[in-house]
Amino acid sequence: MLQVKLTGTLQSAVDDEAEVEIDAATIRELLTRLVERYPRMSKHLDEGIAVSINGEIYRDNWGTQIPDDAEVFLMPRIPGG
Amino acid sequence: MPQDTSYTHQKFNVIGTRPKRPDGIDKVTGRAKFGADTSAPGQLVGLILRSPHAHATIRKIDTSKAERLKGVKAVLTSADLPDLTDGDRAMLDILENCMARGRALYDGHAVAAVAAIDAQTAKKALKLIKVDYKVLPHVTDVDEAIKPGAPIIQDWVFTAGVEPKPKRPSNISQRTEFGHGDVEAGFAEADVIVERSYKTEQTHQGYIEPHACLASVRPDGSGELWVTTQGHFTFRNICSSLLGMDVAKLKVTASEIGGGFGGKTHVWMEPVALALSRKANRPVKLVMSRDEVFRATGPTCSTSVDVKIGAKKDGTITAATAELRYQNGAFPNIWGMLGAMTSFACYDLKNVKSIGYDILCNRPKVAAYRAPSAPMAAFGVESTMDLVAAEIGMDPVDFRIKNAAKEGTLASYGPTYGPIGIGPTLEAVKNHPHMRARLGKNQGRGMACGFWFNFGGQTCTDLNIGIDGTVTLTVGTVDVGGSRASLSLIAAEELGIPYDQVITNIADTASLGFNDMTEGSRGTFSSGMAAIFAARNAIEVLRKRAAQMWEIPVEAVVWEKGEAKAMGKKHGNLPQLSLKEIAAKAPNTGGPIAGHSEVVADNAGVSFASHICDVEVDPETGATKVIRYTVIQDAGKAIHPDYVEGQFQGGAVQGIGWALNEEYIYGEDGRLQNAGFLDYRMPVCSDIPFIDTQILEIPNPNHPYGVRGVGETSIVPPLAAIGNAVSNAVGVRLSHVPMSPPRILKALVEASGS
């Protein structure tokens, strides 16, 4: 079971929780289950989201495996200049 | 084939050398074709009519006289751009920014457009368009916009990130909070607490090439767009979506680009050019004037920032907070959130909290500008860091070293860092000869740190080997800073051939798979990664072809130093085959030899920099001259050191302009007063010293060569480094950027009480 931390406005989509427990082995599973449980997350997925796994930030590679004991943060997708 | 992106400690032959860039001669001789440098048979001239009002309802637009003018082929208003966004508010905002829909939201907002046979006729036509405005109250200052009674810019915006959900619309589009620990407890532990407020004014990226495009839509609904852009694939997707075109039917070609720095990651008038062309059934060329670039494209935010830092006498920071108010222009975005995320990212803090507010004003839609939002946050934090160091009597570099983030630090924006370079950049500052140079009268020295995320993204690359053994590398990331040279070096390194045997081209959108834009310092990082894999795939083909030529199993062939070598007792005496020899036989060994790669280049690796700056301030006039400047930054691995240094220097120079002179100045009427380079003062060569650089190479574990993005971080520290230097020179803390002569004089007068 992953402990998933959320930052910024993403927290408001999960009933203002800073951390939620999700059973997932990949980023795709994680996001799918988050939306199932918290439908308001869907909007944030549409706007773009990034997942930090053990400090490494993934924006697009949803097939990425998430180790059981990983530190997982959800962050908004960041634009650059 | 699985693509292993891990760093491999590879020894390099050509990586790290400094060959000439392939586009250099064309650019200095005027042969290079930029956005305005192409034409099509029968093309029309497009022009845009812009609102003179900061905020107004558009009651009516009468285009009838313009339409009747001889030579006018199309007149366009928002009525010609129906909303096809299907509830996607962000896309509708883009459409509304390109062409006002019933209301003008800032001075310069497009309200109508024409296409005519020549510029004279188009200008006449614009004058014949009658717009009936009802002028509304406006607000252009970020702090004024959140006061009670301020005019509301967007009545559909309710502050996100607060509970309960507000019932009234607000100019604050969102509140975001980051951090960890208990800041109140942390401040209670502090021996010293410093709390200050800062302001930074709005600046423009100031790219030398204005926006320009040539659009051509055919009657069958297909079209082409030649455009100056940082991301032609993204432009294609946005334009086709807004105009209801099939993605595959719009071919976008990126011209050479005369600077972008984030400003050319957004569409501004390209959908209008395409719509004009569709309506006129003729190609339409649309080129912005400098006035339009300032008034109607995306500058960075103006900001208002409060910072509070507490520390023990031994230099340990016990708590830090920041509240950051970022002006987004007339459309909501996430710039304040980015300021909050980046503000304390350089430090290892037990108790930290940063709150970002995104705020709407009657100003142009804000766009990304090189490490967007980070420089303003760094100005507040790094200025306060110097103040705290002074209060506890500690050297400001030592104070930063003591609190620097490192591998394993919980970043203030959430995750735990892997290997990072802030500590080494600070140690390099401490040991740099610049820090020991003597200062003269009225001179001061300052230093500051900066952070940026960097990212990778979707990337697609082809590598083709010609019959003569020359290699064409085709990429989809626009070359804004010498990336073609760097990517050729990478292909040459992998194949084991000389640099000048490789030519790198930028493909149009019809010739290659999707590529994300050149933004987020990703060009060389991600296309470099794709080039490595494409070259490795081509090497597999070369081995097979060599095996055929030798008539031996492919397993017995290895690729070494640009040649196929037969291995084993049975074949070891075969003469090696060069890439050129194998290429020459390609028609008879299976046809063209090529390698392809598509990759999502995640894990770009965060980036840190520390800058040192010396200034001299004239106490009579308040004018500041930067007399020495040093940039120290972690590049992971510098593929082509010239262009890494160029990025370091360019960011520093833009930061110097931002720190000392550049500023959007609005009148009481909400109109921009200085929409031109005479009144908006950017630094020129004679204003700045040579920018010294030191490249650190702390490999990114997630790139085969250890590469990190380098393009953006260099603009983060300058505002604060210069602010600290100026404050040290004059003995008064400067807290408002730009630190222009009038502001410095005012600070001096206030400090002296006279």
Average pLDDT value for chain B: 97
Given B573, B601, B629, the domain boundary residue is B601
Residues of B in contact with A58 (CB under 8 A): 602-603
Are B531 and B665 within one domain? no
pLDDT at A59: 85
- Establish if B190 belongs to a structural domain: no
- Establish if A81 belongs to a structural domain: no
Are B725 and B613 within one domain? yes
Q: How would you classify the pairing of strands B44-50 and B284-287?
A: parallel
Domains of chain B: total: 3
- Establish if B590 belongs to a structural domain: yes
Which residue on chain B is closest to A80 by alpha carbon? B520
Token couple for B129 = 């368009």
Give how far Cα B108 sits from Cα of B49, B134, B295, B598, Å. Answer: 8, 16, 5, 41
What are the strands of the beta sheet with B624-634, ordered from one edge?
B443-452, B607-617, B624-634, B691-696
Mean pLDDT of the A42-52 span: 89
- If phi > 0 it is left, if psi is from -120 to 50 it is alpha, else beta; for residue B561 that is left
- Establish if B204 belongs to a structural domain: no
- Establish if A15 belongs to a structural domain: yes
- Establish if A9 belongs to a structural domain: yes
Chain A interface, mutation test: which of B91, B175, B334, B454, most A Cβ atoms within 10 Å? B334
B754 falls in which pLDDT band (50, 70, 90)? low
Mean pLDDT of the B192-219 span: 98
Asked if residue B553 has a cis previous peptide bond (ω within 30° of 0), the answer is no
* Per-residue model confidence as pLDDT tens digits over B592-649: 999 999 999 988 889 999 999 999 999 999 999 999 999 999 999 999 999 999 999 9
- Establish if B150 belongs to a structural domain: no
pLDDT at B10: 93
A43-47, B149-153, B510-514: which range is least confident on average?
Answer: A43-47
Instruction: Answer whether A81 sits within 8 Å of B520, measured CB to CB.
Output: yes
Are B449 and B558 within one domain? no
Instruction: Answer whether A8 sits within 8 Å of B176, measured CB to CB.
Output: yes
Mean pLDDT of the B729-746 span: 97
Which residue on chain A is closest to B177 by alpha carbon? A8
* Per-residue model confidence as pLDDT tens digits over B243-296: 999 999 999 999 999 999 999 999 999 999 999 999 999 999 999 999 999 999
Whole-angstrom Cα distance, residue B526 to residue B603?
A: 10
- Establish if A33 belongs to a structural domain: yes
Given B601, B627, B662, the domain boundary residue is B601
The boundaries of the domain holding residue A55 are 2-76
Whole-angstrom Cα distance, residue B673 to residue B670?
A: 9
pLDDT at A11: 86
Which residue on chain A is closest to B164 by alpha carbon? A12
E strands present in B51-90: 56-62, 72-76
Whole-angstrom Cα distance, residue B388 to residue B272?
A: 52
By Cβ distance, the residue of B178, B334, B372 closest to A81 is B372
Asked if residue B164 has a cis previous peptide bond (ω within 30° of 0), the answer is yes
- Per residue, the 3-state secondary structure of A3-24, as one string, reads EEEECCCHHHHCCCCCEEEECC
pLDDT at B2: 56
pLDDT at B750: 92
pTM of the model: 0.96
Q: Which of residues 545-604 of B touch A (CB under 8 A)?
A: 600, 602-604
Length of chain A counted residue by residue? 81
Are B291 and B310 within one domain? no
pLDDT at B208: 96
Are B716 and B586 within one domain? no
- Establish if B197 belongs to a structural domain: no
Are B377 and B327 within one domain? yes
* Per-residue model confidence as pLDDT tens digits over B509-565: 999 999 999 999 999 999 999 999 999 999 999 999 999 999 999 999 999 999 999
Are B461 and B441 within one domain? no
Mean pLDDT of the B461-480 span: 98
pLDDT at B531: 98
* Per-residue model confidence as pLDDT tens digits over B577-592: 999 999 999 999 999 9
Contacts of B745 (CB under 8 A, 6+ apart): B621, B622
Instruction: Answer whether B262 sits within 8 Å of A81, measured CB to CB.
Output: yes
* Per-residue model confidence as pLDDT tens digits over B353-366: 999 999 999 999 99
Judge whether B297 is closer than 8 Å to chain A, CB to CB.
Answer: no
- Across the A:B interface, residue pairs with CB atoms under 8 Å apart total 107
Judge whether A62 is closer than 8 Å to chain B, CB to CB.
Answer: no
Are B386 and B489 within one domain? no
For residues B376 and B344, the answer to whether their CB atoms sit within 8 Å is: no
- If phi > 0 it is left, if psi is from -120 to 50 it is alpha, else beta; for residue B605 that is left
Judge whether A79 is closer than 8 Å to chain B, CB to CB.
Answer: yes
Kindly tell me if the per-residue pLDDT of B716 is higher than 90.
yes
- Establish if A51 belongs to a structural domain: yes
Q: Say if the ipTM goes beyond 0.95.
A: no
pLDDT at A60: 85
The boundaries of the domain holding residue B100 are 44-136+210-257+264-296
- Establish if B386 belongs to a structural domain: yes
Given B296, B320, B345, the domain boundary residue is B296
Q: Which of residues 325-364 of B touch A (CB under 8 A)?
A: 334, 337-338, 340-341
Are B575 and B513 within one domain? yes
- Percent pLDDT > 70 in chain A is 100
Are B404 and B460 within one domain? no
Length of chain B counted residue by residue? 754
Report the CATH number at residue B95: 3.90.1170.50
Chain B interface, mutation test: which of A10, A59, A71, A75, most B Cβ atoms within 10 Å? A59
- Establish if B404 belongs to a structural domain: yes
- Establish if B461 belongs to a structural domain: yes
CB atoms within 10 A of CB B731: 11
Domains of chain A: total: 1
Report the CATH number at residue B468: 3.30.365.10
Report the CATH number at residue A55: 3.10.20.30
